[in-house]
């Protein structure tokens, strides 16, 4: 069980980045995301994806301090200041459940203290979306790439076309470009 906690979300400014964080969490095999600031548009976007594309993924909203305090399991904080993922991933993988925390630009110092693992995905500045994706990809050792989400919408991988099946709406069965 992996839950992702997104902290420092500002609904106006971070709308798209936090949406990407949530969709990456789902697509790469996490079970749930908790966002620290309520955002009904974000909730709707993510729930619409789950409804159409499948999976048991959930999105909820809760202050981050409360989440950390009540979490029963290990806490992994993704930060460019942390120890390299390749040194720690085998150890992390042995734990269940795991809370993976990704921040926005400024992260409160308490988080570094509360985390069992502060982990870097390269020691360079880039993106919490990328850090989360690579962390989950390595955590699951690629197994999630072929995960069947059992959704109504399903892509049929193709060399040069956009093909998908839509069980709920047969008219959208195959869209060919």
Q: What is the contact surface with its own copies in residues (CB under 8 A)?
A: 16-17, 20, 23-24, 26-28, 49, 53, 79-86, 109, 112-113, 115, 118, 120-127, 129-134, 137, 142, 144-147, 149, 154-155, 157-164, 177
**Between 62 and 144, CB nearer to its own copies:** 144
Cβ-Cβ contacts under 8 Å for 171 (sequence gap 6 or more)? none
CB of 143 to its own copies, least distance (A): 10
The DSSP 8-state label assigned to residue 162 in this structure reads -
**Between 41 and 122, CB nearer to its own copies:** 122
d(CA 32, CA 16): 18
CB of 25 to its own copies, least distance (A): 9
**Between 5 and 136, CB nearer to its own copies:** 136
d(CA 94, CA 91): 6
**Between 95 and 144, CB nearer to its own copies:** 144
CB of 58 to its own copies, least distance (A): 16
d(CA 137, CA 16): 22
Could you tell me which of 45, 41, 118 has the C-alpha nearest to residue 78?
A: 118
Could you tell me which of 158, 82, 92, 166 has the C-alpha nearest to residue 120?
A: 82
CB of 92 to its own copies, least distance (A): 13
């Amino acid at each position: 069980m992996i839950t992702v906690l997104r902290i420092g979300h500002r609904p106006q400014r971070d709308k798209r980045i936090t949406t990407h964080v949530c969709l990456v969490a789902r697509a790469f095999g996490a079970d749930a995301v908790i966002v620290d600031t309520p955002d009904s548009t974000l909730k709707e976007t993510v729930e619409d994806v789950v409804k159409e594309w499948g999976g048991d993924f959930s999105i909820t909203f809760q202050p981050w301090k409360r989440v950390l305090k009540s979490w029963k399991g290990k806490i992994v904080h993704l930060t460019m200041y942390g120890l390299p993922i390749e040194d720690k991933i085998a150890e992390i993988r042995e734990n269940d459940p795991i809370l993976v925390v990704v921040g926005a630009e400024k992260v409160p110092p308490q988080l570094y203290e509360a985390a069992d693992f502060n982990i870097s995905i390269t020691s360079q500045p880039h993106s919490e979306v990328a850090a989360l994706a690579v962390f989950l990809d390595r955590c699951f050792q690629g197994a999630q790439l072929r995960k069947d989400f059992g959704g109504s919408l399903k892509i049929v991988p193709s060399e040069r076309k956009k093909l998908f099946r839509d069980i709920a709406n047969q008219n959208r069965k195959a869209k060919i470009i």
